Amino acid sequence: MLDLLLRALLGGLGVASVAGPLGAFVVWRRMAYFGDTLAHSALLGVALGFLLDINLNLAIIVLCVGLALVLVTLQKKHIIATDTLLGILAHSALSLGLVAVSFLDNIRIDLMAYLFGDLLAISQVDVYWIYGGGLAVIALLVTFWKPLLAVTVNEELAKVEGYPVEAIRLLLMLLVALVIAVAMKIVGVLLITSLMIIPAATARKLSSTPVQMASFASLIGCLSVCGGLWASYRWDTPTGPSVVVCAALLFLIAYTLPFKRLR
Amino acid sequence: MNKRLVAFDKIGISFDGRVLLENIEMTISEGEIVTLIGPNGSGKSTLIRTLLGLQEATSGEIVRHKTLRIGYMPQKLHIDPTLPLTVKHFLALVRGVDKQQILPTLEKLGIGHLLRSQVHVLSGGETQRVLLARALLNRPNLLVLDEPVQGVDVNGQVELYNLIENIRNELNCGVLMVSHDLHLVMAKTDTVVCVNQHVCCSGSPQHVTGHPAYQALFGVPGADESIAIYAHQHDHVHDDHGGILSGKDDDAHANCKHH
């Protein structure tokens, strides 16, 4: 039991640490709905992973990245408004995923676990994936922090100054896709975006620089995971939603209490 | 002789079959201040965006000197309010910036005290100066300024134009400005290019304001009310180049309607 909890805690903390800084970018660039769309399509990735018998994490990453590329292409053509486009893609991908899962007769999938996450079902291999993927994401974030931020602050200035704007934008999408694949086990496809944006939004209240906001987001995410796990253990509530509720509570506290911004 | 930084060679841009710009010929040299003027929708900004590489020209070519390095000051700065950012951090984003230069550059522009301010709380004039600082930190030999005095009151505008002129004198850089302000900007400009899809006329401010094509677009200089208001702030009158005309000039107040 203790082993199980410890593994859940380790996995959860790993995911929250990565989701924080990336969530900050999602908030800054107003990509929340975009994150949702990628997350929803992750279920399709799971189904395809089972059907084609390949590694699930890999299937999810490939599908998310593929979808991100499709999105960018469609967005450029200005056929319909971006939010409509995202809505169409998000829900068709989710439905397609659910339909595809129903074809998997001989494999039993715990659908609820994929939709809402099951931190307690996390395996040793999952922890490796989380830390491997998480470290890769953090390394990329640290290496490309300045260009990522420059492009986020103002794309045109960044372009004139010679930053490779398109490549950086793509990198960010790749990172979001990676985090979604990694975080899916913890909070599930329907709740991943919340684990990215709620801690980041909470951190905004306390920060006066981007680095502060990204680090606080990690910290607040970790607190939420601890709180959620504890609640789940104590009252036998579902883990994923408990983590999100905990994050939402921290958000409320940060914005109702008169906290001072760090200088 | 000052070297030529940029030459527009028969640049044309069309969008969905609609011609925005055609046959634009223009050059900018080191130490030269060129001002693009033209009515709204005349393609001034499009032309600038082409030079910056933000937009492709449909025809023609922009010849850039191999040493060309552009400092760009956009019309305005929108930074998402969820992104906490101080002026210092904003300026540190310049690619390959020498961080030691940030404070001196701000001080040169008279805004050293803003180093630790959040970018969201700056006034219009302060924002423009911060943007100018960012352009300068890119160590340009050509400054491209898109409506640099937008949202700045008249006194602030005069100060900004003076600042730009001082920078030009100090760095001997070229300056390409977009403006639809006709009067203040004229005084500091070497060359005015009047654009309305094509180059209507270009040359020294005095030459251009006397040109029929310019007058067709903007009216006869001095005939509109705004220049009368401007003249009223002084007890003297400027000629088109900013020189002071004698107060005895019979014409000095001829255009003021409320005398």
* B50: chain A residues, CB-CB within 8 Å: none
Residue A154: give the domain boundaries. Answer: 2-189
Looking at residue A18, what is its pLDDT? 93
Q: What is the dihedral sign for C-alpha B124, B129, B135, B141?
A: positive
Taking the CA of residue A204 and the nearest CA in chain B, the distance in Å comes to 6
Interface of B with A (CB under 8 A): 52-54, 70, 72, 74, 77-80, 82-86, 89-90, 93-95, 118, 134, 138
Q: How sure is the predictor about A220, in pLDDT bands with cuts at 50, 70 and 90? A: very high
Average pLDDT over residues B144-169: 86
Q: Which of A43-52, A130-139, B244-253 is predicted with the least confidence, judged by mean pLDDT? A: B244-253
What pLDDT was estimated at residue B226? 43
CATH of the domain at B3: 3.40.50.300
Nearest CB to B77 within list A154, A208, A209: A154
Q: Could you tell me which residue, B194 or A218, shows the higher pLDDT?
A: A218
Looking at residue A246, its pLDDT comes to 95
What digits encode the pLDDT tens for the residues B1-15?
578 898 888 888 888
Q: What is the ipTM of this complex?
A: 0.85
Confidence of residue A158 (pLDDT cuts 50, 70, 90): very high
Question: How many domains does the structure of chain B reveal?
Answer: 3
At B162, which helix (H) or strand (E)? helix B154-171
Q: Is A153 on the interface with B (CB under 8 A)?
A: yes
pTM: 0.83
Residues B145 and B194 reside in one and the same domain? yes
Of A185, A175, A181, A183, nearest in space to A199 by CA = A183
Beta-carbon separation of A149 and B93 below 8 A: yes
Q: Are residues B112 and B177 in the same domain?
A: no
B172 and B183: one domain? yes
- The arithmetic mean of pLDDT across residues B159-169, rounded, is 88
How sure is the predictor about B221, in pLDDT bands with cuts at 50, 70 and 90?
low
Based on the domain organization, do B130 and B156 belong to the same domain?
A: no
Are B134 and B247 in the same domain?
no
What does the pLDDT read at residue B1? Answer: 59
Tell me which residue of B26, B13, B77 sits closest to B199, measured CA to CA.
B26
Query: Which of B51, B59, B60 lies closest to B5 in space, CA to CA?
Result: B51
**Residue B136 pLDDT exceeds 90:** yes
Q: Are A246 and A231 in contact (CB under 8 A)?
A: yes
For all residues of chain B together, what is the average pLDDT?
A: 80
Chain B residues touching A212 at Cβ < 8 A: 84
The size of the A-B interface in CB pairs under 8 A is 64
Say whether both B87 and B117 belong to one domain: yes
Q: What 3-state DSSP class applies to B237?
A: strand
Do B238 and B207 fall into the same domain? no
Does residue B202 sit in the same domain as residue B239?
no
Q: For chain A, how many residues are written? A: 263
Half-sphere exposure of B169 (CA within 13 A, CB side): 8
Instruction: Summarize pLDDT for B73-119 with one digit per residue, the tens.
Output: 998 888 889 999 999 999 999 998 888 999 999 998 889 999 999 99
Number of H helices, E strands in chain B: 9, 11
Q: Select the residue of B53, B86, B93 nearest A209 (Cβ to Cβ).
A: B86
pLDDT at B241: 53
Same domain, residue pair B107 and B15: no
Range of the domain at B236: 222-259
Name the residue with higher pLDDT: B218 or B46: B46
Q: Are residues B149 and B54 in the same domain?
A: yes
**Residue A103 is assigned to a structural domain of this protein:** yes
Contacts of B85 in chain A (CB under 8 A): 153, 209-210
**Both B193 and B105 in a single domain?**
no
Query: Would you say residue A225 lies in a domain?
Result: no
Q: Mind telling me how many Å the CA of A258 is from chain B's nearest CA?
A: 18
Asked whether the predicted pLDDT for residue A204 surpasses 80, the reply is yes
Radius of gyration for chain A, computed over Cα atoms and rounded to the nearest angstrom: 18
pLDDT for res A249: 96
**Residue closest to B118 by CA, chosen among B74, B77, B71:** B77
Considering its fold, how many domains does chain A have in total? 1
Distance from CA of A113 to the nearest CA of B (A): 32
A12-26, A81-95, B172-186, B200-214: range with highest mean pLDDT: A12-26
| A160/B54 CB distance under 8 A | yes
- Regarding whether B123 and B185 lie in a shared domain, the answer is no
Q: Which residues contact B198 (CB under 8 A, 6 or more apart)?
A: B21, B22, B23, B24
- Tell me the CATH number at A30: 1.10.3470.10
Contact B53 A159 (CB under 8 A): yes
